[in-house]
Amino acid sequence: YTLPFDRHDWVVSRCGGQQVTYVIDFYSGKPDPRDPDLPSFFLDVRPAFTPVGVRDRVRRWWRDLF
Protein backbone atom coordinates (compact mmCIF):
# COMPACT_ATOMS: atom_id res chain seq x y z
CA TYR A 1 0.00 0.00 0.00
CA THR A 2 1.03 3.56 -0.58
CA LEU A 3 0.14 6.65 1.38
CA PRO A 4 -2.62 8.87 0.01
CA PHE A 5 -1.43 11.75 -2.12
CA ASP A 6 -4.17 14.03 -0.83
CA ARG A 7 -6.71 14.19 2.00
CA HIS A 8 -9.82 16.27 2.49
CA ASP A 9 -12.23 16.67 5.37
CA TRP A 10 -15.76 17.37 4.19
CA VAL A 11 -18.60 18.52 6.40
CA VAL A 12 -22.01 17.33 5.25
CA SER A 13 -25.28 18.72 6.59
CA ARG A 14 -27.80 15.96 7.15
CA CYS A 15 -31.54 16.32 7.52
CA GLY A 16 -32.41 17.92 10.82
CA GLY A 17 -29.34 20.15 10.77
CA GLN A 18 -26.85 17.52 11.98
CA GLN A 19 -23.36 18.04 10.55
CA VAL A 20 -21.12 15.04 9.90
CA THR A 21 -17.44 15.18 8.94
CA TYR A 22 -16.08 12.69 6.41
CA VAL A 23 -12.43 12.00 5.64
CA ILE A 24 -11.59 11.48 1.97
CA ASP A 25 -8.18 10.04 1.06
CA PHE A 26 -7.02 10.08 -2.57
CA TYR A 27 -4.73 7.28 -3.77
CA SER A 28 -2.90 6.85 -7.07
CA GLY A 29 -4.29 4.04 -9.18
CA LYS A 30 -2.87 1.86 -11.91
CA PRO A 31 -3.12 3.28 -15.42
CA ASP A 32 -5.90 1.91 -17.60
CA PRO A 33 -4.20 -0.04 -20.42
CA ARG A 34 -6.95 1.10 -22.81
CA ASP A 35 -6.13 4.77 -22.19
CA PRO A 36 -2.96 5.21 -20.11
CA ASP A 37 -3.01 9.01 -20.53
CA LEU A 38 -6.10 9.38 -18.34
CA PRO A 39 -5.51 9.96 -14.62
CA SER A 40 -6.20 6.97 -12.41
CA PHE A 41 -6.99 7.24 -8.71
CA PHE A 42 -9.34 5.86 -6.09
CA LEU A 43 -10.93 7.26 -2.98
CA ASP A 44 -11.29 6.01 0.57
CA VAL A 45 -14.27 7.83 2.11
CA ARG A 46 -15.24 7.29 5.73
CA PRO A 47 -16.83 9.12 8.65
CA ALA A 48 -14.27 11.02 10.72
CA PHE A 49 -13.34 9.62 14.13
CA THR A 50 -15.92 11.62 16.05
CA PRO A 51 -18.78 10.35 18.24
CA VAL A 52 -21.20 10.61 15.30
CA GLY A 53 -18.69 8.99 12.93
CA VAL A 54 -18.00 6.10 15.28
CA ARG A 55 -21.74 5.55 15.70
CA ASP A 56 -22.18 5.46 11.91
CA ARG A 57 -19.32 2.99 11.49
CA VAL A 58 -20.73 0.66 14.16
CA ARG A 59 -24.20 0.85 12.62
CA ARG A 60 -22.80 0.00 9.18
CA TRP A 61 -20.71 -2.86 10.57
CA TRP A 62 -23.74 -4.25 12.42
CA ARG A 63 -25.96 -3.98 9.33
CA ASP A 64 -23.35 -5.72 7.14
CA LEU A 65 -22.92 -8.45 9.75
CA PHE A 66 -26.58 -9.45 9.61
Query: 34 near 17, Cβ under 8 Å?
Result: no
> Which pTM does this prediction carry?
0.71
Task: Please give the angle made by the CA atoms of 52, 55 and 60, to the nearest 5 degrees.
Answer: 125
User: Predicted confidence band at 2 (pLDDT cuts at 50, 70, 90)?
Assistant: confident
Type and span of the H or E element at 31: none
pLDDT in tens, 23-63: 999 999 999 999 999 999 999 999 999 998 899 999 999 99
What are the domain boundaries of the chain? Answer: 6-65
